[in-house]
């Protein structure tokens, strides 16, 4: 099993289970919605977010980071939608600082098949945020620059994505069974309106409408030992420039873009304002 990262895709591969056992994950930037009492509709996708391996930066990364961590630069003005693409079934779990994004409960070592603390791909082609009820999630957004420093917190900020493949023999049987022809069709992914092609942690933002597909595979269908995970760290524009000497490749979303899509713009979405009264130390600390 291997986990690899390209400029915009995180890939899980289990060739020892089956040649088709590959899962591709993309992080799509989108507009933030207000954190109010309103449940908002799905926002437009505005392109892929860059990904880089922490190992690329050597000893320039903060203490506690690992070479195989995946780094994702984000501006204050954007939210992230996570896209999943695979023809092969996977059980996927996501946690942020040890909290399960599906159940909101502590992230345990093994999938909880009673509480369904996971979702299945390709049935669930994207995830817009932390699940709050059967039809609503709260956006994946990043806390403001320096927020954790002001709160006096020193831990957290680690996003973990865990993937478990279907048993290879079950998939092979489906490939030759006409009743399961639809299972091997390449999924049409249109998540967040986009197709798959200093440090801050993910945070639950405003609410939007999204229902998670109910799991359908019985427990025995999932491979009992083939499981892999990737650690993701959100890096704000201040820390990103300190690491590689430039701003993130993609420009920040502006108030004009928010107005064009008829979404409200908040002043603190502006990174130049957020940087005020922020020390170099707080720029690279992990936030939650």
pLDDT in tens, 72-83: 888 888 888 899
pLDDT, position 210: 56
When the pLDDT of each residue in the chain is averaged and rounded to a whole number, the result is 78
Given a cut of 60, is residue 190 above it in pLDDT? no
Q: Return the H-helix or E-strand segment holding 227.
A: none
Given a cut of 60, is residue 53 above it in pLDDT? yes
Cα–Cα distance, 164 to 91 (Å, whole number): 5
Instruction: Of 75-89, 96-110, 162-176, give the lowest mean pLDDT range.
Output: 96-110
Given a cut of 70, is residue 162 above it in pLDDT? yes
Quickly list H helices, the chain: 147-151, 168-175, 237-244, 255-260, 271-274, 280-284
- pLDDT tens string 55-99: 888 888 888 888 899 998 888 888 888 999 999 999 999 988 788
Mean pLDDT for 125-129 is 83
pLDDT, position 241: 79
Given a cut of 80, is residue 133 above it in pLDDT? no
User: DSSP of 172-199, one letter per residue?
Assistant: HHHHT-GGGGGGGSPP---BTTB----B
Torsion of the alpha carbons at 109, 167, 196 and 51, rounded to the nearest 10: 40
Mean pLDDT for 154-174 is 85
């Amino acid at each position: 099993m291997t986990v690899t990262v390209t400029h915009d895709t995180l890939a899980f591969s289990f060739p020892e289970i089956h040649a088709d056992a590959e899962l591709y994950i993309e992080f799509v930037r989108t507009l933030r919605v207000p954190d109010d009492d309103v449940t908002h509709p799905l926002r437009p996708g505005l392109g892929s977010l860059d990904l880089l391996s922490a190992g690329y930066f050597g000893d320039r990364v903060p203490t506690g980071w690992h070479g195989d961590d995946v780094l994702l630069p984000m501006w204050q003005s954007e939210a992230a939608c996570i896209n999943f693409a695979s023809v092969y079934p996977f059980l996927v779990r996501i946690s942020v600082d040890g909290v399960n994004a599906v159940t909101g409960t502590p992230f345990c070592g093994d999938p909880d098949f009673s509480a369904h603390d996971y979702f299945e791909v390709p049935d669930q082609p994207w995830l817009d945020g932390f699940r709050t009820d059967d039809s609503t999630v709260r956006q994946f957004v990043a806390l403001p620059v320096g927020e954790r420093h002001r709160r006096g917190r020193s831990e957290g900020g680690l996003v973990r994505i865990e993937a478990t493949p279907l048993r290879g023999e079950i998939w092979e049987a489906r490939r030759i069974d006409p009743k399961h022809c639809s299972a091997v069709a390449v999924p049409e992914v249109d998540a967040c309106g986009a197709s798959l092609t200093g440090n801050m942690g993910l945070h639950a933002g405003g609410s939007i409408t999204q229902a998670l597909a109910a799991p359908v595979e019985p427990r025995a269908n999932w491979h009992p030992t083939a499981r892999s995970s990737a650690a993701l760290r959100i890096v704000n524009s201040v820390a990103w420039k300190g690491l590689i000497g430039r701003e993130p490749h993609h420009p920040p979303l502006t108030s004009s873009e928010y107005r064009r899509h008829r979404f409200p713009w908040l002043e603190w979405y502006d990174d130049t304002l957020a940087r005020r009264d922020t020390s170099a130390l707080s720029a690279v600390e992990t936030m939650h």
